């Protein structure tokens, strides 16, 4: 049975496990913890179910698609939120800067999460990684590329990407600024724009679609979409897009690492169940939970030594993440956004 064929079976087992564990929970847990999350709760349900089974703590999830910071601010000291969970380090830092988080000191979290993937003062913690990789036409004779090379005129009319103002690309541009300075990044971004095969728009999956359609040869996209595409239903458009590409892990010339962003969480400033919130974060960075993260969402674990999802292991491989502090990278988000507008990158 191929990796792609095993994926639906693994998903079915995963779903069955979730149902069994949920049925085994007591009707009224003695304790509870409440998560406000911008991620679809279904994506992390197996992890939360496993936590409840192990700890006896009931997890209440509140999906907040937009306006998480504004909601928590408005609730103030009356907020029931214990954990604030989101994607993109910029969104986490917005919560910190908005004054709705609190510091946490935990030897378990410090041991599990590398320093560049958490706040020095314990205000936020990465829980999983998504690499900003390169999709390439599967027969293209290309095995390696630096992010800086995307501005090389040899790629003129051959590059696809989503909007520069999308947080995924703004973060990459901010990392380029941190490594190479604003002036060099402006020149680089001009070169990338000149190489675009179409307007910077759509989503990451559209990059694979347009490679299959012959519109471009290479394009920036997040690593976990590869898992989604390559395990889609046989014969579906998404599966065809996934089968048309291979994945290359670009690196920065300065560090030799691949740019990553995160899903992560903070403990809410007025958490009524602070101790349970810390227990949940510690569980989510445990070896077993990190493996579940990888299997559920095709993401990379933050904890070293955890088994990758087999689809990602085959299509993308092990990851050498850029060692740049995410806090340092995020300092340049505004500069990155200004450059995108200044150059008309999305027009």
Both 73 and 217 in one domain: the answer is no
Question: 215: which 2 tokens?
Answer: 């519109």
Question: At 225, phi and psi to the nearest 5?
Answer: -65, -25
Question: At 311, phi and psi to the nearest 5?
Answer: -65, -45
Q: 260 with 250: CB under 8 angstroms?
A: no
Both 211 and 338 in one domain: the answer is yes
**CATH for 105:** 3.40.190.10
Both 20 and 114 in one domain: the answer is yes
Tokens 């408005």 identify what position?
74
User: Residue 61, Cβ neighbours under 10 Å: how many?
Assistant: 19
Both 334 and 205 in one domain: the answer is yes
Q: Which residue, among 222, 184, 178, has the nearest Cα to 326 in the 3D structure?
A: 178
**Number of domains forming the structure of the chain:** 2
pLDDT category at 43 given cuts 50, 70, 90 is confident
Both 200 and 330 in one domain: the answer is yes
- Give residue-wise pLDDT tens across range 267-313: 999 999 999 999 999 999 999 999 988 888 899 999 999 999 999 99
Spatial distance between the Cα atoms of 279 and 85, rounded to a whole number of angstroms = 15
Mean pLDDT, residues 11-20 taken together: 46
- Give residue-wise pLDDT tens across range 99-115: 999 999 999 999 999 99
Asked whether residue 236 is domain-assigned, the answer is yes
Both 194 and 304 in one domain: the answer is no
Q: Which residue, among 263, 290, 265, has the nearest Cα to 81 in the 3D structure?
A: 265
Both 124 and 135 in one domain: the answer is no
Asked whether residue 314 is domain-assigned, the answer is no
Both 16 and 105 in one domain: the answer is yes
Asked whether residue 347 is domain-assigned, the answer is no
Half-sphere exposure at residue 232, Cβ-oriented, CA atoms within 13 angstroms: 16
- Give residue-wise pLDDT tens across range 130-160: 999 999 999 999 999 999 999 999 999 999 9
User: In the chain, what percentage of residues exceed pLDDT 90?
Assistant: 87
Give the pLDDT of residue 44: 86
Give the pLDDT of residue 24: 40
Give the pLDDT of residue 17: 41
Asked whether residue 315 is domain-assigned, the answer is no
- Locate the DSSP E strands across the chain: 31-37, 57-63, 83-87, 101-102, 125-137, 159-160, 218-222, 245-248, 260-268, 300-301
C-alpha dihedral sign at 31, 37, 40, 46: negative
Q: Is the pLDDT of residue 20 over 70?
A: no
Give the pLDDT of residue 18: 45
Both 210 and 328 in one domain: the answer is yes
- Give residue-wise pLDDT tens across range 227-239: 999 999 999 999 9
Spatial distance between the Cα atoms of 124 and 102, rounded to a whole number of angstroms = 9
Both 206 and 333 in one domain: the answer is yes
Both 201 and 338 in one domain: the answer is yes
Asked whether residue 224 is domain-assigned, the answer is yes
pLDDT category at 40 given cuts 50, 70, 90 is confident
pLDDT category at 11 given cuts 50, 70, 90 is low
Domain that holds residue 332: 131-258+320-342
Question: 285: which 2 tokens?
Answer: 């960075």
Spatial distance between the Cα atoms of 136 and 245, rounded to a whole number of angstroms = 5
pLDDT category at 10 given cuts 50, 70, 90 is low
- Give residue-wise pLDDT tens across range 182-216: 999 999 999 999 999 999 999 999 999 999 999 99
Asked whether residue 200 is domain-assigned, the answer is yes
Q: Is the pLDDT of residue 13 over 80?
A: no
Q: Which residue, among 150, 165, 94, 146, has the nearest Cα to 123 in the 3D structure?
A: 94
Q: Is the pLDDT of residue 39 over 90?
A: no
Both 233 and 280 in one domain: the answer is no
Mean pLDDT, residues 324-333 taken together: 94
Spatial distance between the Cα atoms of 236 and 258, rounded to a whole number of angstroms = 30
Q: Is the pLDDT of residue 76 over 80?
A: yes
Q: Which residue, among 233, 229, 231, has the nearest Cα to 242 in the 3D structure?
A: 229
């Amino acid at each position: 049975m191929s990796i792609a064929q095993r994926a639906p079976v693994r998903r079915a087992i995963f779903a069955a496990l979730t149902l069994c564990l949920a049925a085994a929970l007591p009707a009224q847990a003695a304790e509870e913890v409440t998560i406000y999350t911008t991620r679809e709760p279904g994506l992390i349900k197996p992890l939360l179910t496993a936590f409840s089974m192990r700890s006896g703590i009931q997890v209440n999830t509140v999906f907040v698609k937009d306006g998480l910071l504004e909601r928590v601010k408005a609730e103030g000291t009356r907020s029931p939120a214990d954990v604030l969970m989101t994607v993109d380090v910029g969104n986490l830092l917005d919560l910190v800067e908005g004054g709705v988080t609190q510091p946490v000191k935990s030897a378990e979290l410090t041991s599990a999460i590398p320093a560049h993937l958490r706040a020095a003062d314990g205000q936020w913690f990465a829980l999983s990684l998504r690499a900003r990789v390169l999709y390439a036409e599967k027969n293209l004779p290309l095995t390696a590329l630096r992010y800086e090379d995307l501005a090389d005129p040899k790629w003129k009319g051959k590059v696809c990407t989503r909007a520069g103002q999308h947080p995924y690309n703004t973060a990459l541009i901010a990392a380029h600024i941190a490594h190479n300075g604003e002036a060099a990044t402006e020149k680089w971004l001009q070169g990338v724009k000149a190489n675009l095969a179409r307007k910077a728009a759509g989503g990451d999956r559209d990059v694979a679609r347009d490679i299959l359609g012959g519109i471009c040869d290479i394009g920036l996209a997040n690593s976990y979409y590869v898992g989604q595409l390559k395990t889609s239903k046989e014969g579906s458009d998404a599966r065809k897009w996934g089968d048309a590409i291979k994945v290359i892990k670009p690196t920065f010339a300065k560090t030799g690492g691949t740019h990553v962003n995160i899903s992560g969480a903070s403990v809410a400033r007025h958490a009524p169940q602070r101790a349970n919130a810390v227990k949940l974060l510690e569980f989510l960075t445990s070896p077993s939970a990190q493996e579940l993260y990888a299997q559920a969402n095709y993401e990379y674990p933050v904890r070293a030594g955890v088994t990758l999802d087999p689809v990602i292991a085959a299509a993308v491989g092990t990851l050498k993440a850029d060692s740049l502090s995410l806090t340092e990278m995020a300092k340049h988000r505004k500069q990155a956004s200004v450059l995108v507008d200044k150059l008309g990158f999305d027009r």
